[in-house]
Amino acid sequence: MGSLSKFLDYLKHEKRYSKHTIKSYTNDINQFKSFLELNYELTDEKLVKHTHIRSWMVQLMEENISPRSINRKLSTLRSYFNYLRKLSLIDNNPLLKIISPKVGKRLPEYVKEDQLEQLFDTIDIGDFEDYRNRLIVELIYVTGMRRTELINLKDSDIQKSVGAIKVLGKGNKERIIPLAPQIFDKFERYKDLRSAYFEDLSAFPSFFVTNKGKILYPKFVYNVVKKYLSSVTTMKKRSPHILRHSFATHLMNQGADLNAVKELLGHANLAATQVYTHNSIEKLREVYRKAHPKSQ
CATH number at residue 247: 1.10.443.10
Mean pLDDT of 213-230: 94
Catalytic residue among 112, 267, 278, 283: 267
Q: Which backbone phi and psi does 252 adopt, to 5 degrees? A: -65, -40
Query: 107 lies in a domain?
Result: no
276 among known catalytic residues: yes
In the residue annotation, 241 being an active-site residue is answered as: yes
Q: Containing domain of residue 271, as a range?
A: 113-290
What pLDDT was estimated at residue 136? 96
**Both 199 and 155 in a single domain?**
yes
Active-site annotation holder among 25, 80, 110, 276: 276
Which of the following is catalytic: 33, 72, 241, 278?
241
- Tell me if residue 49 is catalytic: no
Do 130 and 87 reside in the same domain of the chain?
no
Residues 182 and 244 in one domain: yes
Contacts of 82 (CB under 8 A, 6+ apart): 93
| pLDDT score for 104 | 65
Specify the pTM.
0.63
Active-site choice (134, 147, 194, 244): 244
| 74 and 128 both lie in a single domain | no
My answer on whether 125 and 89 are in the same domain is no
Which entry of 73, 78, 132, 146 is annotated as an active-site residue?
146
d(CA 283, CA 25): 37
Number of domains comprising the chain: 2
Backbone phi, psi, residue 163, to 5°: 65, 40
146 is known as an active-site residue: yes
List the alpha helices (DSSP H) in 41-144: 50-62, 67-86, 113-122, 128-143
Domain boundary among 97, 128, 161: 97
Residues 118 and 180 in one domain: yes
Assess whether 10 carries a catalytic annotation: no
What is the structure's pLDDT at 294?
59
Question: Which region holds residue 50: left if phi is over 0, alpha if psi is between -120 and 50, else beta?
Answer: alpha
Question: What is the rounded average pLDDT for all residues in the chain?
Answer: 88
Residues 212 and 249 in one domain: yes
| pLDDT at position 226 | 94
Which strands sit side by side in the sheet containing 164-168, from one edge to the other?
Answer: 158-159, 164-168, 174-178
Of 50, 166, 170, 175, the active-site residue reads 170
Residues 90 and 203 in one domain: no
Alpha-carbon separation of residue 68 from 64, 202, 282 (angstroms): 11, 47, 23
For residue 72, the model assigns a pLDDT of 94
Q: What is the pLDDT of residues 138-173, one digit of tens each?
A: 999 999 999 999 999 999 999 999 999 999 988 888
pLDDT tens per residue across span 235-291: 888 999 999 999 998 998 888 888 898 999 998 888 788 877 766 666 666 665 766
Note the pLDDT of residue 243: 93
Shared-domain flag, residues 174 and 64: no
Asked if residue 260 and residue 185 are part of one domain, the reply reads yes
For residue 105, pLDDT beyond 80: no
Query: Taking a C-beta distance cutoff of 8 angstroms, is the pair 119, 229 a contact?
Result: yes
Q: 9-65 pLDDT, tens per residue?
A: 999 999 889 889 999 999 999 999 999 999 999 989 889 999 999 999 989 988 989
Instruction: State how far Cα 110 lies from the chain centre.
Output: 14
Q: Whole-angstrom Cα distance, residue 145 to residue 186?
A: 18
| CATH classification at residue 75 | 1.10.150.130
Is 194 labeled as catalytic in the residue annotation?
Answer: no
Local confidence band at 202 (pLDDT 50, 70, 90 cut-offs): confident
pLDDT band per the 50, 70, 90 thresholds, residue 95: very high
- pLDDT bracket for residue 76 (50, 70, 90): very high
Last residue of a domain, one of 71, 97, 123: 97
